C-alpha cells in the first residue's frame, strides 16, 4: 500500500510542468524517505533529479518500496483536472496496475478520482558523483529565467563565465550577439533578490539554451536558483522546493573542438 497526500496540490502541477519537457516517461520511486524521480531526456543531454521528503506529505504511508512508471504528459493531463487549492492524494497498492489521483477541494465538498494505468519503463539509474564545484551562483530564479529567455532570441547556446567580478552570460547568432553581466549583490533589501557567487576557480562553459529554457519552467517552484559550475562538467540548476525537497537539473556542457569541415571529391 502506498498513499501520500499533499495539501498544496498545485505543487504537483508545477513540478510536472517543470519536468515534462525533459523527461517523457519516468519511474517515480516511492520509499520510506519520500518520493524521488530521476530521468534523462532522449538525447541524454539533460537529467532531472527530484526528491520530495516524506515529511511533505500528510499522511505518508509506504509499506514497501514501489516504483510507479508514469508518462509525464499523461500525468500533466490528469493534474490539470485539479484546482490549485485542492489537496492531492496519490494512492496505489503493490498488486495494482493503476495509480489513483484523488483531488479534494479545500472545503471537502468535491472529491475527484482519476486512475492512471502504470507503465513498464526500462530505465537506467545514473550515479551522480559528489563533487566540489568551481563556482556556485545563487540568484533570483526569475532573473535566470529572463536571461535564458532573452538570450535564446539571439543564439542556440549561452556561454557562461564566472569570475570574481561576476557572472556573464553571452550568446551570439546570425542576427547579432548579447551579453548580460551580473555583479555579486548582497545588499539587496530582499534576500531573494541577491546574487551570490562562491568562486573557487573561474569557469567558462557553454550550454544549450533550449534546455535551460525547459529548466526555468521550475521558476515558480522556488524564488532562488542555484547554478553550480565545474569546468568540463555538467551544470547543475537547482531549485529548493520550500523545505520539503529539491528539483535539480543537470545539463551536459558543449565542448568546443577544432574539428574542421573539409570537402574533397574522391579520386
Partner 1 sequence: MCGRCVIMRDGGAIRRRCAHYPYKSSCTADTASDSSHCLPRWYQEGESSYQPSYNVCPRDNLPVLLSSDHPHACDGEGPEDRILQMMQWGLVPSWHKGAAKDFAYLLNNCRSESLFDKASFRNAFTRGHRCVVPVDGFYEWKLIAGKKYPQYIQSVDNDSMLMLAGIFDIHRQTPDSNPLYTVTLITTEAHPVFSEVHHRMPAVLQGAQQVADWLDFRRVTDKQAYSIIIPTTGLTWYAVGNSVNNVYYKGEDCVLPRKAEPVKEKSKGITLDTFFKKTPVKRKLEDSRTLKRVKDESKNES
Q: Which residues bind partner 1 (CB under 8 A)?
A: 25, 27, 40, 43-47, 67, 69, 71, 73-74, 97, 117-129, 157, 206, 208, 233-234, 250, 252-267
Where would I find the beta strands (DSSP E) of 7-65?
25-31, 34-40, 46-53, 60-62
Would you say 1 or 188 has its CB closer to partner 1? 1
Smallest separation, CB 224 to partner 1 (Å): 24
Which residues, listed in sequence order, are joined to residue 169 by a DSSP beta bridge?
160, 180
Cis ω before 12 (30° cut-off from 0)? no
Smallest separation, CB 122 to partner 1 (Å): 6
Would you say 25 or 193 has its CB closer to partner 1? 25
| Ramachandran category for residue 253: left, alpha or beta (phi over 0 → left; psi -120 to 50 → alpha) | beta
Smallest separation, CB 91 to partner 1 (Å): 18
Would you say 174 or 263 has its CB closer to partner 1? 263
158 phi and psi, to 5 degrees?
-120, 135
Any idea what DSSP says for residue 261? P
User: Quick count: other Cβ atoms within 10 Å of Cβ 147?
Assistant: 22
Which residues lie closer than 8 Å to 43 by C-beta, 6 or more apart?
none
What separation in angstroms does the CA of 249 have from each of 55, 186, 259?
A: 23, 25, 29
Would you say 124 or 243 has its CB closer to partner 1? 124
9 phi and psi, to 5 degrees?
-65, -25
Place of cell 553581466: 181
Would you say 164 or 261 has its CB closer to partner 1? 261
Would you say 46 or 241 has its CB closer to partner 1? 46
Smallest separation, CB 38 to partner 1 (Å): 9
Amino acid at each position: 500500500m502506498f498513499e501520500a497526500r499533499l495539501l498544496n496540490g498545485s505543487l504537483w502541477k508545477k513540478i510536472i510542468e517543470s519536468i515534462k519537457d525533459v523527461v517523457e516517461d519516468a519511474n517515480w520511486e516511492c520509499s520510506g524517505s519520500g518520493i524521488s524521480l530521476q530521468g534523462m531526456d532522449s538525447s541524454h543531454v539533460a537529467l532531472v533529479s527530484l526528491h520530495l521528503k516524506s515529511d511533505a506529505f500528510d499522511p505518508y504511508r509506504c509499506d514497501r518500496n514501489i516504483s510507479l512508471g508514469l508518462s509525464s504528459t499523461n500525468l500533466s493531463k490528469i493534474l490539470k483536472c485539479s484546482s490549485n487549492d485542492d489537496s492531492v492524494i496519490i494512492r496505489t497498492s503493490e498488486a495494482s496496475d493503476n495509480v489513483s489521483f484523488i483531488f479534494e477541494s479545500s472545503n471537502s465538498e468535491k472529491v475527484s478520482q482519476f486512475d492512471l494505468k502504470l507503465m513498464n519503463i526500462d530505465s537506467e539509474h545514473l550515479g551522480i558523483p559528489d563533487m566540489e564545484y568551481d563556482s556556485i551562483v545563487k540568484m533570483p530564479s526569475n532573473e535566470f529565467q529572463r536571461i535564458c529567455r532573452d538570450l535564446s532570441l539571439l543564439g542556440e547556446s549561452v556561454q557562461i563565465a564566472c569570475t570574481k567580478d561576476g557572472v556573464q552570460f553571452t550568446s551570439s547568432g546570425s542576427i547579432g550577439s548579447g551579453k548580460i553581466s551580473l555583479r555579486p549583490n548582497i545588499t539587496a533589501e530582499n534576500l531573494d533578490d541577491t546574487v551570490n557567487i562562491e568562486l573557487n576557480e573561474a569557469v567558462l562553459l557553454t550550454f544549450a539554451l533550449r534546455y535551460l529554457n525547459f529548466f526555468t519552467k521550475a521558476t515558480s517552484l522556488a524564488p532562488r536558483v542555484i547554478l553550480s559550475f565545474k569546468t568540463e562538467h555538467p551544470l547543475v540548476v537547482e531549485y529548493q522546493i520550500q523545505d520539503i525537497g529539491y528539483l535539480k537539473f543537470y545539463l551536459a556542457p558543449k565542448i568546443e573542438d577544432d574539428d574542421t569541415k573539409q570537402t574533397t571529391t574522391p579520386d
